[in-house]
Amino acid sequence: MSKPISILGIFVADLTFRSNRMPRQGETFIGNSFKLGPGGKGSNQAVAARRAGAKTMFITKVGKDTFGEMAMKLYADEGINSEFVWEIPKNSTGAAAIMVNEESGDNAIIVVPGAADELVPDDLEDAEAGIAECAYFMASLEVPIPVMQRGLEVAKRNGVPTILNPAPAAILPDEVYGLSDYFTPNETEASMLAGIPVETVEQARDAAKVFMDRGVDTVVITLGENGAYVRNSEIRQHVPAFDMGDKVLETTGAGDAFNGGFAHALAEGMPLIDAVRFGSATAAISVTRLGTAPAMPYNNEIQQLLDSQNTQ
């Protein structure tokens, strides 16, 4: 097994409500099902990377409460290093209300980070020894921006390559682009951050150039069923998605699956396009299952999908 991956992000309990349509303003109606499970983008990414085969270290804060216990049990069960998962008494663990429209597959999510909002930049200094040991450092934007930025800075000064998944989209300080070796927005995030529409591969190519001009080394824009667009100084390539047809059940957490699988593949030393295909396969399997963290596939399943389909 290669060196570990350190992931900074949040854990929240996902409260998922499934119904045939979304509620209208002021409306109450009876839905189809409810499930409580582990979520949060960074935590989902950690589970995806771990199940894909990576040694994984997660950095966050949770409360000393039932959802916090759920987080600690998840990391113990999955074999994720939780040395830098701080349990704090003064705030509750966060939660996400996820509404899934079973007819269209669309979702709408409200996330309250709770205890993870208590992360401060100095916490990343405390985690420096752990980050310095890692093959890659990955962060997303559910933690406060200054915390995310300090994480990238700590990684860079220790020579650890960085992956920034700018999800959910937020305005970023200019310096953050130059601190990002890999930048992995989806089409919505890319559009918001680049200030241009990103619906086609051609538009993704233009958005990728915007991010490179701002200082990113390698841009990977995920485009859902249209695959991913990859651009750096040497490569400009569209990577098609895996077609899972009518097996698709729920797309919540697909981006987390992609990023976890992608980070693992990079840490294993795979070439960039192979790493993107590995991430795509991880996401493709995750959408055939319900939930977020529980939907993440294991290495043998990803390998099987990669072996069974040649999308290049």
Looking at residue 232, the DSSP 8-state letter turns out to be: S
Q: Is 247 exposed, middle or buried (0-12, 13-18, 19+ CB in 10 A)?
A: exposed
Q: Which helix (H) or strand (E) holds 15?
A: strand 12-19
d(CA 228, CA 214): 20
- Of 158 and 251, which CB lies nearer to ligand RIB in the complex structure? 251
Identify the active-site residue in 243, 256, 274, 307.
256
Residue nearest to ligand RIB (CB): 39
Catalytic residue flag (residue 122): no
Binding residues (CB under 6 A) for ligand RIB: these are 12, 14, 39-41, 44, 96, 109, 111, 142, 252-253, 255-256, 292
* Residue type present at position 47: V
Minimum gap (Å) between residue 80 Cβ and ligand RIB: 16
Q: How far is the CB of 247 from ligand RIB (least distance, A)?
A: 20
Residue 240 burial (10 A CB sphere; 0-12, 13-18, 19+): middle
CB 276 within 8 A of CB 228: yes
Nearer to ligand RIB among residue 189 and residue 256 (C-beta): 256
Closest contact distance (angstroms) between CB of 132 and ligand RIB is 28
CA dihedral sign, ordered 209, 214, 219, 225: negative
Minimum Å distance from CB 36 to ligand RIB? 12
Nearer to ligand RIB, 10 or 124 (CB): 10
Nearer to ligand RIB, 40 or 63 (CB): 40
- Mind telling me the catalytic residues? 256
